[in-house]
Chain A
Amino acid sequence: MLGKTIGDLEAGDIFEPIRYVLTSFICAEYAHAMEDSAEWYYSAAAPFDRQLRHPGMIHADKMRLLEANCLEERRMAGVRTDDARIHYEYHARHHSPAFVGDELIVSGRIVDRYNKRGGDYLYYELKVETAEGRLVTTYNDRTLLSYKPFESRSNANE
């Protein structure tokens, strides 16, 4: 474990990678939530002839990775932290599709943690590849750790 929550992460921290098998449910549920009707997210439609996941699912991979590496990071279980985080930047590069049945390995690290205009930011670097070593997505993410003014944060006196 790297820390209790992502607020404990520091530049240089390396996440323990996670592995999971991409299912039809995962692909369909995410695309349906976005009202994306492209059939390839729901069935083995042309042109790939295999069901695949929505490119934005790297965000769900980030959630998986954080919860596996931070003991008290439990957003997926409905637990809120004292200070809400604000997603500030998304940057994904897609190298190949991720198909249903692929075992995916998600790894990553904290590139930087810095303060700008009173805001505490984390900058991530993530990579998704298949168990066979095929690169799927590389990703950078910038997150503001609290929207509150500093003096009103729960950890202002820490």
Chain B
Amino acid sequence: MSNFRLKNVREYKVGEVISGPTRPLTPDRIAWYSIGMLSGATGTRQEVQHNIHTDDEYAKSQGLPAAIADGMHSTNWLNSMMANTFGPHFIANGELRTKFIKPTYANVPITTKGKITNRVENSDGSIQLNLDVWTEDSSGLQLTVGEASVLITKEFGAL
């Protein structure tokens, strides 16, 4: 049974803000993503790799002040926020665009957020929602920014 928290889509209004949990991007989490991404790409379980995401010294050799989290980590937390909020509608008819405008360093607490910017009811009864999305640190500084959209259709209910 899925745990997405889809509410009646008619309750979503322009200006409404959705969010995910606030979590520090710890070195352990960065390592878990290294393992999971590579395991997913190879089909067999992999070890943590030493790169600009996991190795401070290597990151410094590349001109960075320290290791930075993989941009896909923030993107995937935004993906999860969208899928947990809009359920199968996002999985089947969703879009996410992100730009990594500032580096995310280890142990920085990150919160994912989205704000509905547009809502269109189509003639077939489906509803298109557009959102600005971002991650921010504890001071509210945006690190990753982008846009998302989702088409809510009768196929998956909630209309």
* A interface residues with partner B (beta carbon < 8 Å): 20, 23, 25-27, 29-40, 45-48, 52, 54-57, 59-61, 63-64, 75-76, 78, 80, 83-84, 86-97, 146-149, 152
- B98 pairs with A90, CB closer than 8 A: yes
**20 new A-B contacts at CB < 8 Å, known A39-B2, A84-B58, A97-B92:** A30-B36, A31-B36, A33-B39, A34-B80, A37-B3, A38-B2, A45-B1, A47-B87, A48-B91, A56-B75, A60-B40, A61-B41, A75-B38, A80-B51, A89-B98, A90-B97, A93-B94, A94-B95, A147-B62, A149-B63
A60-B40, A80-B51, A89-B97 given; A94·B2 CB < 8 A: no
- A25 pairs with B41, CB closer than 8 A: no
B52 part of interface (Cβ distance < 8 Å): yes
- A56 pairs with B49, CB closer than 8 A: no
A89-B99, A90-B71 given; A47·B76 CB < 8 A: no
**Bound CA span A60–B96, Å:** 16
- A57 pairs with B40, CB closer than 8 A: yes
Residue with the highest number of chain A CB atoms closer than 10 Å, among B3, B47, B73, B75: B75
Interface size on B, residues (CB 8 A): 57
**Bound CA span A143–B107, Å:** 24
**Helix, strand, loop or mixed for chain A's interface?**
mixed
A-contacting 9-mer, from B27-35, B115-123, B124-132: B27-35
B114 part of interface (Cβ distance < 8 Å): no
- A56 pairs with B72, CB closer than 8 A: yes
- B41 pairs with A64, CB closer than 8 A: yes
A99 to chain B, nearest CB (A): 11
B64 part of interface (Cβ distance < 8 Å): yes
Give 13 A-B contacts (CB < 8 Å), ordered by A residue.
A26-B40, A38-B2, A38-B84, A46-B2, A55-B79, A56-B79, A78-B47, A78-B49, A83-B62, A89-B98, A91-B96, A94-B95, A95-B92
**Bound CA span A17–B50, Å:** 28
* B interface residues with partner A (beta carbon < 8 Å): 1-4, 23, 29, 32-33, 35-47, 49-52, 58-59, 62-64, 70-73, 75-77, 79-80, 83-84, 87-88, 90-100, 146, 156-157
B102 to chain A, nearest CB (A): 12
- B64 pairs with A147, CB closer than 8 A: yes
A38-B4, A47-B2, A147-B64 given; A92·B76 CB < 8 A: no
**Bound CA span A25–B35, Å:** 13
Residues of B within 8 A of A30 (CB): 36-37, 39-40
A29-B45, A94-B94 given; A89·B4 CB < 8 A: no
Task: Name the contact of B38 in the complex, choosing from A35, A76, A84 (C-beta under 8 A).
Answer: A76
- A55 pairs with B63, CB closer than 8 A: no
